[in-house]
Structure 1
Amino acid sequence: MTLHDDAVLVLKGYDDGGDAHQAHLRQAYLDHLAGHPDGMWKACGDGHLTASALVIDPERGRVLLTLHKKLRMWLQMGGHCEPQDTALRAAALREATEESGITGLTLLPGGPVRLDRHPIPAPCNWHLDVQYAAIASADATERISEESLDLRWFPYDEVAAVADASVVLLMESTRARLAQAG
């Protein structure tokens, strides 16, 4: 199975939780992949899927955010899919591990937590982000990657003061999923 095929299956199975905007994005992602065999790759000029993961430490009630070097914004870990990626889950976990420096992360069961489409500068137009959540142990040690200016743990109630609405929504959805599971 190709990464493209995996993405289609993941999106077809994505639980939008009855959110009309998430349902619309899910269909837009599926339409994009149907019309773009290269829709997983950075080279696709009309946009491409990306995979990200919010690193969370539920025992201490905090999330790990990276101060992105290019964007200068506090974001979850994530980025472009690579040729060796065989599944969106694997791409999200790879990105979270690379950018956080934390080994032993585990993705929250149940598939993606949210979808987020945002414009990016030319030559491409859109990132179609498939967002997961990764659980870190309370004793996890982070390490700043070359893609970051900083890496910092934030208590849940401080995230809205430093991050944009997409990160806040991802954190809230992740916490809701944790509460349902727990």
Structure 2
Amino acid sequence: MKSAFRFITPSNGSIKDDMLSGFTVALALVPEAVAFAFVAGISPIIGLYGAFMMGLVTAIFGGRPGMISGATGALAVVMVSLVKEGNTMGPDGAMMGIQFLFATLILAGLFQILAGVTKMGKFVRMIPKSVMMGFVNGLAIVIFTSQLGMFKSSDNWLVGTEMYSMLALVGLTMLIMIVLPKITKKIP
């Protein structure tokens, strides 16, 4: 029987490789955590705290080789309404949405542990590809519309220099995403 706590058993990897992998994932996780915090409507500091705790728990309890644990856009989009409605409850200025978010994530983690222990992951294969594609495309639309507010200052859309600098950054990012993989194939 395999141990649920793999941190007790020795690892086949080297410490140097593990440290480099952890550092790389941490660098990739920081902008992702901040971006998803903005999408969820919470402070980026809370997103960074969550990313740190997720990394700590994943490092202790392990994972699968080649798997990166991180926040997901699907979860961030769902949490928007939870945080907004939670902030309207309770006394004025209590910001109950953050407490609701914390409780929801703990409960989701317990459900994931239960699903893992009962080996329910095999049922994911039964979901048709068309359903998965529809979910991902719908999620992309929801994230896109939630980010349109970033193109506004106060109540007005960006105009002039602000708009052109934002569009230049978007264009530069898309250019890097398209061109860089072609360069790295030629230059190892």
Give TM-score scaled by structure 2 length.
0.25
Name the one with the larger strand percent. Answer: 1
Q: Which has the higher contact order (CA 8 A, sep 6+)?
A: 1
